[in-house]
């Protein structure tokens, strides 16, 4: 493929490196790194203070966007004064002629709304399932006018939208050289993610309390009050908060765990932490809901459990030792390498450019 000039947009809900952007931060890093490895040139637009392992970032000032996952279905669009999201797109408008293709990773209304006004192809890689009516309609309108431009991580995520069959499923990938395989774990379990209600941390605490194995928790903590409530509710449970760690430290600690628990209360679009655990040889126990249900192979790389069933989690924890940790790593290598992800992303860009991003209808 000819070398492309790419302009990538990070999420406007947080500074890259803070963890507030969730899996988007790692996804952006990995796609960017792989595109550079393949000889493409790129620039990333992100809020001021963002850092991404030496990748080229243009820092944009302005106020952060509020997160979409805390809003009601009929919530209107809200923009802060001096919005970093608006500032990113204003900047992009000025420099757009230097780029062949733009990639948006923000789950926000404005980039979709602006798409027809840009004379450049814009790919939108969406990171969550259907949340609000206004987002659904702006994404669908974009898809109607620019077919092939909406990417998703999993079929389960796509299926939350009425137009899911027209989205392109791109999964995800990791730089596996950064994740060390660990054959002999310690006797504790892991939970990794943003400490937020949609992630269902309480269920993991209840299950591990029953089985008597300590739970270690890693992740960004956007809402401290929520964490306090959990601590007060389970004063006798053996769980500990281990902080939000950069990837090199996270993988070293995660690899030591007997298993990773994923207990989402929403349709998890993908769940980067599932493939990170597998890359370290750590089996994953997850509710059969969203992305993890497409990542985990029942009885081979972990166990899928009836959603919201604490009993189901406990039974799966009892069967953790049936899983061969080598198989977990092998599965990550086969399906979630940077190479595999890069091939999918490049093919998407190539198809979009072949279509010329011409407006339909
Ligand atoms: N993460 C991290 N350090 C930590 C805990 C989590 O870097 O201590 C990252 C993890 O690598 C993953 C992200 O946080 O990329 C969580 O993303 P996921 O897709 O699992 O869920 P999301 O937050 O997007 O819903």
Instruction: Find out whether the beta carbon of 129 lies less than 6 Å from any atom of ligand 1.
Output: no
Instruction: Find out whether the beta carbon of 294 lies less than 6 Å from any atom of ligand 1.
Output: no
The pick from 192, 198, 257, 261 for probing ligand 1's pocket by mutation, whose C-beta has the most ligand atoms within 8 angstroms, reads 192
How many independent structural domains does the chain possess? 2
In this prediction the pTM is: 0.96
217-240 pLDDT, tens digit per residue, is 999 998 899 999 999 999 999 999
Q: Report the C-alpha gap between 84 and 156 in whole angstroms.
A: 31
Residues 290 and 235 in one domain: yes
Residues 191 and 102 in one domain: no
CB 62 within 8 A of CB 82: yes
Q: Tell me, what CATH number does 69's domain have? A: 3.40.50.2000
275-326 pLDDT, tens digit per residue, is 999 999 999 999 999 999 999 999 999 999 999 999 999 999 999 999 999 9
Q: Report the C-alpha gap between 240 and 71 in whole angstroms.
A: 29
Q: Which strand (E) or helix (H) includes residue 268?
A: none
Residue 189, domain extent: 176-335
- Residue with structure tokens 């990995």? 30
Q: Report the C-alpha gap between 270 and 324 in whole angstroms.
A: 23
Residues 237 and 320 in one domain: yes
Instruction: Find out whether the beta carbon of 207 lies less than 6 Å from any atom of ligand 1.
Output: no
Residues 103 and 195 in one domain: no
Residues 213 and 348 in one domain: no
Residues 27 and 165 in one domain: yes
pLDDT tens digits in sequence order for the chain, 361 residues long: 689 999 999 999 999 999 999 999 999 999 999 999 999 999 999 999 999 989 999 999 999 998 877 789 999 999 999 999 999 999 999 999 999 999 999 999 999 999 999 999 999 999 999 999 999 999 999 999 999 999 999 999 999 999 999 999 999 999 999 999 999 999 999 999 999 999 999 999 999 999 999 999 999 998 899 999 999 999 999 999 999 999 999 999 999 999 999 999 999 999 999 999 999 999 999 999 999 999 999 999 999 999 999 999 999 999 999 999 999 999 999 999 999 999 999 999 999 999 875 555 4
Residues 53 and 196 in one domain: no
Residues 180 and 315 in one domain: yes
Residues 74 and 158 in one domain: yes
Residues 103 and 183 in one domain: no
C-alpha 260 to ligand 1 mean position (Å):
13
Residues 232 and 295 in one domain: yes
Residues 71 and 219 in one domain: no
């Amino acid at each position: 493929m000819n070398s492309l000039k790419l302009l990538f947009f990070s999420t406007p809900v947080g500074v890259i490196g803070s963890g507030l952007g969730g899996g988007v931060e790692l996804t952006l890093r990995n796609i960017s790194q792989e595109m550079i490895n393949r000889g493409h040139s790129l620039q990333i637009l992100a809020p001021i203070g963002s850092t991404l392992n030496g990748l080229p970032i243009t820092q944009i000032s302005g106020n952060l966007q509020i997160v979409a996952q805390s809003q009601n279905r009929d919530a209107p669009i809200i923009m802060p004064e001096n919005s970093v999201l608006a500032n990113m797109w204003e900047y992009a408008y000025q420099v757009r002629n230097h780029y062949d293709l733009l990639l948006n990773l923000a789950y926000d209304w404005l980039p979709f709304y602006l798409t027809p006004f840009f004379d450049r192809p814009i790919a939108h890689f969406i990171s969550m399932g259907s949340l609000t009516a206004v987002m659904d309609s702006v994404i669908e309108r974009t898809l109607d006018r620019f077919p092939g431009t909406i990417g998703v991580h999993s079929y389960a995520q796509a299926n939350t939208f009425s137009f899911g069959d027209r989205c392109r499923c791109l999964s995800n990938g990791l730089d596996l050289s950064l994740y060390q395989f660990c054959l002999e774990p310690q006797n504790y379990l892991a939970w990794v993610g943003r400490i937020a209600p949609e992630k269902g941390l309480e269920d993991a605490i209840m299950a591990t309390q029953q089985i008597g194995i300590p739970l270690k928790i890693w992740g960004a903590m956007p809402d401290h009050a929520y964490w306090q409530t959990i601590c007060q509710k389970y004063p006798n449970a053996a769980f500990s908060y281990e902080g939000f760690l950069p990837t090199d430290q996270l993988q070293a600690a995660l690899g030591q765990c007997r298993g990773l628990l994923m207990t989402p209360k929403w349709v998890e679009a993908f769940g980067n932490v599932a493939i990170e655990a597998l890359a370290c040889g750590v089996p994953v126990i997850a509710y059969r809901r969203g992305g993890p249900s497409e990542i985990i192979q029942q009885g081979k790389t972990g166990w899928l459990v009836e959603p919201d069933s604490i009993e189901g989690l406990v039974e799966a924890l009892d069967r953790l030792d049936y899983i061969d940790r080598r198989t977990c790593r092998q599965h990550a290598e086969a399906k979630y390498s940077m190479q595999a992800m890069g091939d999918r992303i490049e093919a998407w860009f190539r198809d979009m450019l072949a279509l010329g991003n011409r407006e339909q209808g």
